[in-house]
């Protein structure tokens, strides 16, 4: 099934249609293609089934409405044909993160933990000042120590005041790790989204003759997430642009200041006595004299302050939820998958040659909805020209080529006649849904209307379409070449794969239609943007949205050709060799490859055998890697906040290649099966993404921020600067608003490990069979070379062994890699009953990025969970099952990250109880 870079989506297949699963563990790319480097999993359908079967299941998860499924299977078989159809419908209940008390912690426990530094209520950055020319009586200390009163005048001055919103703590927005106002967006996220899924599979097989058979199959699946939920609004990436300025005449600003006395003496934004003294013109003082105090003290000093302006370090909606509802942002995500296969197989030349010829077509269509704030609309609303009913004043372009308002009194219409102000301060918030507290200082007169909030937010839509058309022919048989173990077998074939990919955006997200944040002449007239930067002429075409960057639509298509052959050589009755060769041609930058495989199996005795294999393979880049831009929210360490990371496609990507080797031994007798395998993979030019924190680290490490506000001019720094936005961040990485990273061909990666499997059964124990099993993987190494940037000249991150580490700072291409995972199972089976208890162990691993302030996060603890299963089939044609996963309801170990655990390794759902039933009516 075509799923682009995500691999094969086996969830699109109804489980009741699968009869058994076969697994080939060592690399099989020489025969099956480049996706099979780690092996092959074959799903064998219940072809030829006769009768009707119906089943259902329900799984209880605490904090959720649970998961359910119903399925049915019908099949009919006659002398020369059979038909089967299977259908499954199921759903998952929403599981909010807030249903897990271990997940929502503050930043004194976990420095990330789903917190952003940009909330609502938020942090205030006010610019208080003293106008020049004001007469100020002061107390002066003369050179001899005596004092006198004297009148001076102010020379002027400006002072930056940074302080929390007074309701920050009460409304649950205080980050206890640093004492600053923020936002716990994790409170609005889900661990499981509400989901509905329908899957249908059918197949028809017909014997055309004794030697030729026709096979037809079809599949359809759809997955519907009616409300994919996330933060009520995203933070703006440009925190200090003209669109974020609050002017002194803003009614919410005036109300906020007056109610809390912020510019009065002792207020958080007041001019202090020391600041007042520093703003004086002291050129008229006697020699050796100094100002000791202001007559009137703090009150007189505060009175010198002029009306302040401010930046709002906040998001459109925070603790009040989306549009004041307490709910998250919600948007639909829908995926539909179709697949059709037509095949013919049989024997030719008196059964000496077998053939299997097929054509398959599959299509995957995915719609992804979302929301984001308009940069321009927020700027307008902060100036009093917001809302769906606001008619902007007329503008005229002057002789200098800049826009101004036609009516000189146009600004008097701010907040009038359908035009509204957006108020970012807590006096506009009646309560917090995050902690349930009400706001005693709420003022409905300055609150934001629901219509204004909805006007600020735009709807995004992204559609992805993948199509895959495969023609394949495989021939097999035995040669006349006889060796010690018999005839040499062969197989050969050819394949063509036509891949089509289309990425389409609605107007809001399409860079070709909306490249710039500002489009309206009124924005230039208000000073939000210069006329020269209005769309489509902006120097930074990030689109109209505040957080998610605009992207470029793309449509690509390619055809990949491959031929392959394989020999099965039984050198002796006990020694077999498999030799295979595959050639694939992608064309273009990707090119072609010839990949061999050799595998040996040697039965030393009736109970002991050895196996080994070695092969090479390569994989061409998925088409979505070659173009386009995708934006995600990630924690940027230099800003101590989540910022926009734009992942940019790379049209010059070449293929990745690998060498895989395996050596193993198998011992089995009547009751015991034991195997041990050593495996190794070495990847060259693997597909990776530049690490955003690594880019910033390299920028700082190479001294690129410079000094005295001037960035360092060097080839390395200039290259790194192309990733970092805006320009202000080039001298201060704390001002970084977004980082552009490229998909690249990375440097070498080598990984190896040991797999162990032991199964022991004792039959005729009491009335049944006792089974014991142990399976485990120990990863010996995961060595990566230094990661270089797209130019290949700058080291972004030093290499090393990633085994036993969380790898949170290793870049987005690398996840946690525990050294040891073990599963131990004990089971007991009779004719009518089956019961088992499995213990699953995941070893501990280190977080080398955890700081000394959080020593408890330096190691992600090991974990043991228990799974229990019971199956009853003592009634004809009826099977009943009961399972308890994570029987003892273990919480996942704490880890530095968004959700306070490592989702790549551990499960956050807790104990899950599942019951299922199947009833069969055989024909």
Residue at token pair 């109970």: 607
Residue at token pair 């549009």: 323
DSSP line for 393-404:
PPEEE-TTS-EE
CA-to-CA distance for 46 and 644, rounded, in angstroms?
Answer: 48
pLDDT at 5 over 60: no
Task: Tell me the pLDDT band of 185, cut-offs 50, 70 and 90.
Answer: very high
Strand, helix or coil at 779? Answer: strand
Q: For residues 196-205, give the mean pLDDT.
A: 98
Q: For residues 682-690, give the mean pLDDT.
A: 92
pLDDT at 638: 86
- Which structural domain range is residue 289 located in? 99-188+233-316
- Asked whether the beta carbons of 132 and 154 are under 8 A apart, the reply is yes
Strand, helix or coil at 857? Answer: helix
Q: What is the pLDDT of residues 308-362, one digit of tens each?
A: 999 888 999 999 999 999 999 999 999 999 999 999 999 999 999 999 999 999 9
pLDDT at 279: 95
pLDDT at 244: 87
C-alpha dihedral sign at 436, 437, 438, 441:
negative
DSSP line for 229-270:
EE-SSPPPS-SSSGGGEE-TT-HHHHHHHHHHTSSSTT-TTP
pLDDT at 882 over 90: yes
| CB half-sphere exposure, 476, CA atoms < 13 A | 12
Tokens of 229: 């939920």
Reference 429, options 528, 331, 319, 353; nearest CA is: 319
CA-to-CA distance for 715 and 153, rounded, in angstroms?
Answer: 50
Reference 295, options 154, 156, 136; nearest CA is: 136
**DSSP assigned state of 550:** P
Tokens of 53: 């079967």
Q: What is the pLDDT of residues 757-776, one digit of tens each?
A: 999 999 988 889 999 999 99
Q: Which 3-state string (H, E, C) describes 558-603?
A: EEEEEEEEEEEEECCCCEEEEEEEEEEEEECCCEEEEEEEEEEEEE
pLDDT at 30: 53
Q: For residues 90-112, give the mean pLDDT.
A: 94
List of residues 6+ apart from 599 with CB closer than 8 A: 26, 577, 578, 579, 611, 612, 613, 614, 615
Tokens of 137: 């009586």
Does any domain span residue 29? no
- Which is more confidently placed, 241 or 159? 159
List of residues 6+ apart from 764 with CB closer than 8 A: none
Residue at token pair 């173990």: 485
Does any domain span residue 170? yes
Does any domain span residue 59? no
Q: For residues 547-556, give the mean pLDDT.
A: 86
Backbone angles phi, psi at 261, to 5 degrees: 60, 40
Task: Tell me the pLDDT band of 58, cut-offs 50, 70 and 90.
Answer: very high
DSSP line for 178-213:
TTEE-EEGGGG-EEE--EEEEEEEEEEEEESSSSEE
What is the C-alpha R_g of the chain?
34
What is the strand order of the sheet 305-313 is part of? 157-164, 123-130, 305-313, 245-246
CA-to-CA distance for 537 and 520, rounded, in angstroms?
Answer: 13
CA-to-CA distance for 222 and 125, rounded, in angstroms?
Answer: 48
Task: Tell me the pLDDT band of 73, cut-offs 50, 70 and 90.
Answer: very high
- Asked whether the beta carbons of 37 and 614 are under 8 A apart, the reply is no
Looking at the DSSP bridge assignments, the partners of residue 885 are 912
- To the nearest 10°, report the CA torsion of 719, 725, 728, 733: -80
**DSSP assigned state of 11:** G
Task: Tell me the pLDDT band of 217, cut-offs 50, 70 and 90.
Answer: very high
pLDDT at 34: 53
Residue at token pair 């940009």: 118
- Asked whether the beta carbons of 241 and 530 are under 8 A apart, the reply is no
pLDDT at 243: 80
pLDDT at 254: 97
C-alpha 539 chain-centroid distance: 28
C-alpha 584 chain-centroid distance: 32
Does any domain span residue 890? no
Does any domain span residue 54? no
pLDDT at 525: 96
- To the nearest 10°, report the CA torsion of 686, 692, 693, 694: 40
pLDDT at 33: 55
Residue at token pair 């005295």: 708
pLDDT at 39 over 70: no
pLDDT at 238 over 90: no
Reference 888, options 905, 870, 907, 866; nearest CA is: 866
Reference 865, options 893, 834, 827; nearest CA is: 893
pLDDT at 273 over 90: yes
User: Any idea what the Cα angle at residue 273 is, between residues 269 and 278, rounded to 5°?
Assistant: 100
C-alpha dihedral sign at 521, 524, 525, 531:
negative
pLDDT at 112 over 70: yes
Backbone angles phi, psi at 871, to 5 degrees: -135, 130
Strands 641-648 and 738-745, by their bridges, are parallel
Q: For residues 678-701, give the mean pLDDT.
A: 92
- Asked whether the beta carbons of 662 and 26 are under 8 A apart, the reply is yes
CA distances from 529 to 391, 523, 730, 909 (A): 19, 6, 21, 48
Q: For residues 382-409, give the mean pLDDT.
A: 95
CA-to-CA distance for 108 and 176, rounded, in angstroms?
Answer: 6
**How far separated are the first and last CA of the chain, in Å rounded?**
32
Q: For residues 268-293, give the mean pLDDT.
A: 94
How many domains, the chain? 1
Task: Tell me the pLDDT band of 734, cut-offs 50, 70 and 90.
Answer: confident
pLDDT at 3: 58
- Asked whether the beta carbons of 895 and 818 are under 8 A apart, the reply is no
Does any domain span residue 124? yes
Does any domain span residue 445? no
Please give the share of the chain, as a percent, with pLDDT higher than 90: 80
pLDDT at 444 over 70: yes
pLDDT at 6: 55
CA-to-CA distance for 180 and 424, rounded, in angstroms?
Answer: 16
Does any domain span residue 559? no
pLDDT at 737: 82
Looking at the DSSP bridge assignments, the partners of residue 784 are 749, 800
pLDDT at 765: 87
CA-to-CA distance for 689 and 646, rounded, in angstroms?
Answer: 11
- Asked whether the beta carbons of 752 and 681 are under 8 A apart, the reply is yes
- Per-chain mean pLDDT for the chain: 93
Task: Tell me the pLDDT band of 735, cut-offs 50, 70 and 90.
Answer: confident
pLDDT at 43 over 90: no
Reference 369, options 227, 466, 562, 575; nearest CA is: 227
CA-to-CA distance for 784 and 782, rounded, in angstroms?
Answer: 7
Tokens of 88: 């499954």
Q: What is the pLDDT of residues 490-519, one digit of tens each?
A: 999 999 999 999 999 999 999 999 999 999
**Count of H helices and E strands in the chain?**
9, 50
Q: What is the pLDDT of residues 797-823, one digit of tens each?
A: 888 999 999 998 787 788 999 999 999
Q: For residues 609-629, give the mean pLDDT.
A: 88
Looking at the DSSP bridge assignments, the partners of residue 490 are 477, 567
Q: Which 3-state string (H, E, C) describes 729-759?
A: HHCCHHHCCEEEEEEEECCCEEEEEEEEEEE
Q: Which 3-state string (H, E, C) describes 413-464?
A: HCCCCCCECCCCCHHHCCECCCCCCECCCCCHHHCCCHHHHHHHEEEEEEEE
Task: Tell me the pLDDT band of 1, cut-offs 50, 70 and 90.
Answer: low
* Helices marked H in 560-707: 692-701
């Amino acid at each position: 099934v075509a799923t682009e870079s995500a691999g094969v989506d086996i969830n699109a297949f109804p489980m009741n249609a699968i009869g058994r699963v076969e697994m080939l563990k060592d690399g099989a790319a020489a025969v099956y293609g480049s996706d099979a480097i780690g092996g092959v999993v074959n799903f064998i359908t219940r072809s030829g089934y006769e009768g009707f079967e119906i089943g259902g299941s329900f799984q209880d998860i605490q904090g959720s409405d649970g998961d359910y499924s119903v399925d049915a299977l019908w099949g009919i078989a006659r002398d020369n044909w059979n038909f089967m159809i299977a259908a499954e419908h199921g759903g998952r209940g929403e599981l909010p993160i807030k249903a897990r008390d271990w997940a929502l912690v503050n930043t004194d426990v976990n420095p990330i933990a789903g917190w952003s530094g940009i909330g609502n209520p938020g942090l205030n950055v006010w610019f208080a000042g003293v106008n020049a020319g004001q007469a100020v009586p002061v107390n002066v200390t003369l050179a001899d120590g005596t004092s006198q009163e004297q009148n001076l005048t102010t020379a002027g001055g400006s002072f930056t005041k940074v302080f929390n919103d007074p309701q920050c703590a009460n409304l649950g927005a205080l980050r206890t790790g640093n004492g600053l106002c923020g936002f716990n967006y994790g409170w609005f996220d889900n661990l499981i989204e509400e989901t509905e899924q329908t899957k249908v599979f059918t197949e028809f097989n017909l014997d055309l003759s004794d030697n030729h058979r026709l096979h037809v199959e079809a599949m359809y699946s759809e997955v519907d997430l009616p409300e994919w939920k996330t933060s009520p609004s995203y933070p703006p990436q440009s925190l200090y642009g003209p669109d974020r300025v609050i002017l002194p005449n803003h009614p919410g600003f005036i109300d906020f200041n007056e109610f809390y006395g912020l510019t009065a003496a002792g207020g958080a934004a007041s001019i202090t006595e020391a600041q007042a003294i520093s703003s004086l013109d002291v050129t008229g003082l006697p020699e050796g004299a100094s100002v000791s105090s202001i007559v009137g003290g703090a009150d007189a000093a505060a009175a010198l302050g002029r009306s302040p302006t401010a930046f709002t370090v906040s998001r459109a909606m925070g603790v009040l939820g989306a549009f004041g509802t307490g709910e998250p942002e919600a948007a639909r995500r829908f995926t539909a998958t179709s697949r059709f296969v037509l095949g013919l197989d049989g024997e030719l030349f008196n059964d000496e040659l077998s053939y299997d010829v097929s054509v398959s077509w599959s299509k995957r269509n995915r719609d992804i909805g979302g929301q984001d704030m308009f940069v321009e609309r927020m700027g307008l609303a902060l100036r009093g020209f917001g809302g769906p009913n606001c008619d902007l004043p007329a503008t005229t372009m002057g002789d200098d080529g800049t826009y101004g308002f036609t009516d000189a009194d146009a600004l008097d219409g701010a907040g009038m006649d359908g035009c509204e102000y957006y108020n970012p301060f807590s006096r506009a918030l009646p309560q917090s849904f995050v902690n349930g507290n009400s706001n005693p200082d709420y003022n409905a007169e300055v609150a934001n209307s629901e219509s204004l909030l909805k006007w600020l937010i735009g709807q995004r839509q992204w559609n992805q379409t993948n199509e895959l058309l495969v023609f394949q022919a495989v021939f097999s048989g035995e040669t006349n070449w006889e060796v010690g173990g018999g005839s040499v077998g062969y197989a050969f074939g050819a394949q063509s794969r036509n891949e089509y990919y289309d990425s389409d955006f609605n107007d809001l997200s399409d860079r070709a239609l909306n490249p710039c944040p500002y489009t309206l002449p009124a924005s230039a007239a208000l000073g939000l943007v210069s006329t020269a930067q209005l769309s489509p002429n902006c120097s930074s075409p990030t689109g109209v949205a505040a957080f998610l960057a605009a992207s470029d639509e793309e449509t690509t298509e390619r055809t990949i050709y491959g031929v392959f052959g394989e020999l099965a050589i039984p050198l002796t009755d006990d020694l077999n060799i498999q030799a295979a060769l595959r050639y694939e041609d992608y064309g273009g930058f990707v090119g072609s490859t010839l990949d061999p495989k050799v595998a040996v199996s040697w039965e030393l005795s009736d109970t002991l055998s050895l196996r080994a294999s070695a092969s090479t393979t390569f994989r061409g880049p998925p088409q979505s890697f070659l173009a386009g831009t995708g934006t995600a929210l990630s924690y940027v360490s230099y800003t101590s906040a989540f910022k926009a990371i734009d992942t940019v496609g790379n049209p010059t990507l070449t293929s990745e290649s690998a060498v895989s080797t395996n050596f193993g031994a198998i011992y089995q007798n009547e009751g015991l099966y034991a195997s041990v395998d050593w495996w190794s993979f070495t990847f060259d030019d693997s597909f990776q993404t530049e690490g955003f924190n690594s880019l910033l680290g390299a920028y700082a490490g190479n001294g690129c921020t410079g000094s005295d506000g001037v960035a360092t001019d060097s080839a390395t720094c200039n290259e790194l600067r192309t990733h970092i936005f805006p320009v202000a961040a080039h001298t201060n990485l704390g001002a970084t608003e977004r980082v552009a990273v490229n998909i690249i061909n990375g440097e070498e990666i080598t990984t190896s490990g040991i797999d162990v499997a032991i199964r022991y059964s004792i039959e005729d124990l009491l009335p049944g069979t006792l089974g014991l099993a142990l399976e485990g993987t120990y990863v010996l190494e995961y060595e990566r070379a230094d990661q270089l940037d797209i130019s290949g000249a700058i080291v972004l991150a030093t290499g090393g062994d990633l085994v036993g580490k969380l790898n949170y700072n290793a870049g987005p291409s690398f996840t946690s890699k525990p050294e040891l995972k073990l599963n131990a199972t004990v089971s007991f089976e009779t004719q009518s009953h089956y019961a088992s208890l499995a213990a699953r162990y995941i070893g501990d691993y280190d977080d080398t990025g955890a700081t000394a302030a959080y020593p408890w996060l330096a190691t992600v603890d090991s974990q043991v969970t228990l799974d229990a299963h019971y199956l009853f089939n003592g009634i004809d044609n009826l099977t009943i099952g009961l399972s308890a996963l994570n029987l003892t309801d273990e919480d996942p170990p704490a880890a530095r990250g968004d959700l306070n655990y490592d989702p790549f390794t551990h499960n956050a759902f807790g104990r899950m109880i599942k019951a299922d039933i199947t009833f069969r009516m055989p024909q």
